[in-house]
Amino acid sequence: MIVRYAQGSDLPKLAALYRQTVLVNAPEYYTHAQTQIWASFSRDADQFKQFILGVTTFVAEDDSGILGFAGIGEEGHVVSTYVRKDYLRRGVGSILMQAVLEQAREFKLKRLYAEASAFSLGLFQKLGFQIYDMEVVDRQGVEFQRYLVELNL
């Protein structure tokens, strides 16, 4: 497996991975309406491009293709962590988050923070992130509860 920076040419594959990850994993924790709204984000090409290329996004891949991605903004916001459904719980998320942590050190950040879903919360906690609050957000009239997590470096 290699970890590299995301490129514009990755966007269609990353959008498909994002959508598939949400559609497979979200139903265990979220309603059908929540899952569908969440997955639909990948269809907005401009917003998805900003989501991936507007921050530093790392991509993990092997001979089978892209395994996952994780992104961090310059201010320490971990904006994404998604792993292909057939590679869950095989260390890909941890490897991607290690790249995020290295980037944070390069940026000389003192704190990382994220809005974790119910199915990504375990990964964040495994890496030492702590829940400091919860929030409810509205997406197209559908409410979502998220965990606000942080890691002091």
Q: Domain range for residue 48?
A: 2-109
**Cα angle, residue 24 at apex, residues 128 and 115 outer, rounded to 5°:** 35
Domain count for the chain: 1
The two tokens of residue 141 are 């009239």
In a domain, 39, yes or no: yes
141 in a structural domain: no
- Within the chain, how many helices (H) and strands (E) appear? 5, 7
CA distance 92 to 54: 22
Q: Does residue 56 lie within any of the structural domains? A: yes
Query: How far, CA to CA in Å, does 116 sit from each of 45, 87, 107, 121?
Result: 23, 19, 22, 5
Closest CA relative to residue 100, chosen from 120, 83, 85, 80: 80
> pLDDT tens, 101-130?
999 999 999 999 999 999 899 999 999 999
- Judge whether 137 lies within some domain: no
In a domain, 81, yes or no: yes
Structure-token pair, residue 27: 């139903």
User: What is the maximum alpha-carbon separation in the chain?
Assistant: 40
- For the chain, give the percent of residues with pLDDT over 70: 100
Is 97 a member of any domain? yes
Residue 135 lies in a domain: no
CATH for 11: 3.40.630.30
Confidence of residue 89 (pLDDT cuts 50, 70, 90): confident
Best CA proximity match to 99, nearest among 120, 121, 68:
68
For 136, phi then psi, to 5°, come to -115, 125
For residue 88, give both structure tokens. 């869950």
Provide, rounded to the nearest whole percent, the portion of the chain with pLDDT above 90.
93
51: pLDDT confidence band, cut at 50, 70 and 90? very high
pLDDT, tens digit, 9 for 90 and up, residues 122-152: 999 999 999 999 999 999 899 999 999 999 9
Residue 88 has pLDDT above 90, yes or no: no
Predicted TM-score (pTM) of the model is 0.93
Q: What is the pLDDT of residue 119?
A: 87
Domain for residue 142, yes or no? no
